[in-house]
Amino acid sequence: MGFNGQVVLVTGGTGSFGNAFVRTLLKNHTPKKVIVFSRDEFKQVEMERAFFTEFPKLTERLRFFLGDVRDKNRLLTALHGVDILVHAAALKQVPTLEYNPFEAVKTNIIGAENLISAAIDRGVKSVIALSTDKAVNPINLYGATKLCMEKLFVSGNAYAAERPTRFSVVRYGNVVGSRGSVIPFFLEKKKSGTIPVTHQEMTRFWITLEQGVAFVIKSLSLMQGSEVFVPKIPSMRIMDLVKAIAPKARVNVVGIRPGEKLHETLLTQDEARHALEYPDQFIIHPPTIPGKRIPWPKGGKALRTNFVYDSNTNDQWLTINQLKTLVASDS
């Protein structure tokens, strides 16, 4: 699916992903309109000022809509005439959500339900939601709410029935340039000469904002409804990141925080039985949707028995020099 002549709405549009996604649409495509939907009026004012300065000739195609995904009526109003919906709104700070669980449920789960119902009612053609590796075998509330969100979006295709709305999910790892990234935290701690590390053997999947945006755009072009798209991305070792940022700093091992894993997983053994591998991604077709199965994109191959895609057994690793480059681009 292309964006030319389409009306696109992004929930959580003032976040790191939303900013990058909207900028890419305005620079590289010709949508009829792009709607930024978010609940923070100050961030909207800041984004509006920055974008209207950067794209003065495109301001008639950019709109800002104040609202919350917890409010279904507001979503119904915002989605009028929308063709493509990218759902990036979420509460995502793991330690915070461990102590504010009901707020996470209201936004990440009830908000997803509201969005699905509103999108079907308004006849939105393509809806894609952003998920995370923390939704796989979750051990924290954030991951559990995102897993539930994934299930709701996949099942949304059954609710849509013969209506035109189709739902899919993109699932990827930690985003290098996102708000709350470990890079600015380590850079700040570098000044003290001591870097706090939760566990020296910790690994994580990493993807840049630009790669995340490109993968979402590609997934929108491929989706037919119910797929979970997983990119092939590199892993990084936390101690390599420390060496890239502050090689002379003292390391203080503080222990794994509540709800934190040593390694992350993007594709489980059970999911692998319903997935195909492509040169740059995996596509999962959940087996729980009734009715006719959608065709696979050409070129995929079955995964081997017992295949698991996790950050500590990945075959792609970021080197210290590559991490230095990422740090420089993020700081």
Average pLDDT value for residue range 114-139: 97
Judged by DSSP in three states, 84 sits in strand
Q: At 292, is the pLDDT very low, low, confident or very high (cuts 50, 70, 90)?
A: low
Q: Active-site residues: which are they?
A: 134
Average pLDDT value for residue range 294-321: 91
Listed residue (30, 324, 281, 27) closest to 169, CA to CA: 281
Contact 165, 125 (CB under 8 A): yes
Q: At 231, is the pLDDT very low, low, confident or very high (cuts 50, 70, 90)?
A: very high
pLDDT at 11: 98
pTM of the model: 0.94
pLDDT at 202: 95
* Consecutive H or E run containing 65: strand 62-66
Q: Give the highest mean pLDDT range of 145-154, 180-189, 244-253.
A: 145-154
| Rounded distance between C-alpha atoms, residue 12 and residue 243, angstroms | 33
| Rounded distance between C-alpha atoms, residue 257 and residue 271, angstroms | 28
Spell out the domains of the chain, with CATH numbers in brackets. Answer: 7-173+207-232+266-309 (3.40.50.720)
- pLDDT at 28 > cutoff 90: yes
| Rounded distance between C-alpha atoms, residue 77 and residue 87, angstroms | 16
| Rounded distance between C-alpha atoms, residue 8 and residue 23, angstroms | 13
Q: What is the identity of the amino acid at 35?
A: I
Length of the chain: 331
pLDDT at 49: 94
Mean pLDDT, all residues of the chain: 92
pLDDT at 56: 87
